[in-house]
Amino acid sequence: MLDRVAEEIYRCLRCGWCREKVMEETRRVCPAREILGFESSFARGRVLLARGILEGEIGYSEKLVERMYTCLGCGACKTHCPLEVDTVEIFRAMREDAVKKGVPLPKPLAEVNRVIGDCGNPFGKPAGDRRVPAESLHLPQEGEVFYFAGCYDTLRNPSVFKNAVELMRKAGARPAYLADGERCCGVPQIWNGSTDLARELAGHNIEKLVKAGAKRVVMSCAGCYNAFGHFYNYLWGRLPFEVIHITQFLAEKIEDGSLQVDTLENACPGGVTYHDPCHLGRHMGVYEEPRILIKKMFPGSFREMPRNRENAWCCGGGAVVFPYLTQYSLKISEQRADEAAGVGSGTIITACPSCVSVLRIPARKRKIEVVNLLDVLVRAVK
């Protein structure tokens, strides 16, 4: 598996830009490096390990496997690499290679695979539970515009599900929904190296959407959007339908006049800030559309954190790190919550259900609210 990224491995010059960016001011790049503090915990060290495996100099020891799964897949190293080395794909290929060679997954990740393989979602819920948030919404199961809600917003965040549908309808769309035909997008397996299961899940979702007539698929989960919009091309080839994140869809409707938004300046004491999800921002290049929506609602009280857009600090929950190394993950999220507190924000708005879940833990201690963008926007749309 590492053969396919050999060219990327050998392009790395070990310059260190993947550790910190020094321009107007010094910006730390890799959360893992700042928490763990070893060369093997950030990109140039990880690439060297991949080279050692590729050349047969080292193997997958227990310690190496543990270190391999501390990468958050946030993509900051790739974004800041002056040679544009695809570090993210190197690290994914390492995990794929280990799985193909029979190296056991860490137990929490193996359990996630088992549950998703059995139930089609990481929470162990019956497939029929996907119908629950849609019961009062009378969503068709065939159409040209589909809402792919994902596991979080269907099974854990029913308010986000309902608000997404309401906002799409107010924007003039009539979304369809696969209900219990939907499965996990496979993003946990894409990141833990279990490519065969990821390909199986992707194939199921693509087949169901094509049979249902989908021409455009709108997603509220940043992880699902990254899976469909990028990795499905790797797993299955070019998709026969368009994929778009709901923030892009709604910003598009604001710009063409289909959607009108009122201000909510007094709704969030202390003002608001926006956390860029890695899957939505660095991986998919969606930075401005969420800000268009937020600035419509909070034109005077929106404050940027110092690290934003391509420099944004990860929430700590990416690449299946949170269920495996929870305390390590929370140390990273605490830094992000501190950054929000530093700009005086009382509310962190984000567009990823995983980011909401992880950031709420440290934010609660700092008396900062963390909310999904859709849960705020639905109150402002006319």
What pLDDT band is residue 381 in, cutting at 50, 70 and 90? very high
pLDDT higher than threshold 60 for residue 23: no
Residues of the chain within CATH 1.10.1060.10 domain(s) are: 2-100
Return the pLDDT at 270.
85
Tokens of 376: 């705020």
pLDDT-derived band at 25, boundaries 50, 70, 90: low
One of 1.10.1060.10, 3.40.1260.10, 3.40.50.720, 3.60.70.12 is the CATH number of 2-100, namely 1.10.1060.10
Number of neighbouring beta carbons within 10 Å of residue 224: 28
Residue 336, amino acid: R
pLDDT of 3 > 60? The answer is yes
CATH class of the domain defined by 107-255? alpha beta
Query: Tell me, what's the pLDDT at 223?
Result: 97
More confident residue, 270 or 112: 112
What is the model's pLDDT at position 269? 82
Distance of CA 50 to the CA centre of its chain: 24
List, for residues 202-236, the tens digit of each pLDDT value.
999 999 999 999 999 999 999 999 999 999 998 99
What's the CA gap between 47 and 233, in Å, rounded?
24
Mean of per-residue pLDDT scores for the chain: 95
pLDDT per position as a tens digit, 182-193: 999 999 999 999
Query: How long, in residues, is the chain?
Result: 382
Chain segment 141-188, per-residue pLDDT in tens: 999 999 999 999 999 999 999 999 999 999 999 999 999 999 999 999
Decide: 262 and 380 in contact? Cβ < 8 Å.
yes
Poorest-pLDDT segment among 15-24, 114-123, 255-264, 341-350: 15-24
Angle at 300 between CA 296 and CA 302, to 5 degrees: 75
pLDDT value, residue 24: 58
Q: What is the CATH number of domain 272-380?
A: 3.40.50
pLDDT of residue 266: 81
Say what the pLDDT of residue 28 is.
Answer: 84
**Confidence band of 116 (pLDDT split at 50, 70, 90):** very high
pLDDT of residue 22: 58
Long-range own/partner contacts, residues 16-23 (CB < 8 A, 24 or more apart): 16/44, 17/80, 17/81, 17/82, 18/42, 18/43, 18/44, 18/76, 18/77, 18/80, 18/81, 18/87, 19/43, 19/44, 21/80, 21/311
Residue of 78, 76, 128 whose CA lies nearest to 310: 76
- When pLDDT is averaged across residues 103-126 and rounded to a whole number, the result is 96
Convert the pLDDT of each residue in 334-379 to its tens digit: 999 999 999 999 999 999 999 999 999 999 999 999 999 999 999 9
What global pTM score does this model have? 0.95
To the nearest 10 degrees (0 to 180), the angle between helices 246-255 and 158-170 is 30
Q: Which residue ranges does the chain devote to CATH 3.40.50?
A: 107-255, 272-380
* pLDDT recorded at residue 56: 96
Percentage, residues of the chain above pLDDT 90: 91
**Beta carbons of 316 and 330 less than 8 angstroms apart:** yes
Asked if 324 and 65 count as a contact pair (C-beta separation under 8 A), the reply is no
Cβ-count burial of 28 within 10 angstroms (0-12 exposed, 13-18 middle, 19+ buried)?
A: middle
Note the pLDDT tens digit of each residue in 66-103. 999 999 999 999 999 999 999 999 999 999 999 999 99
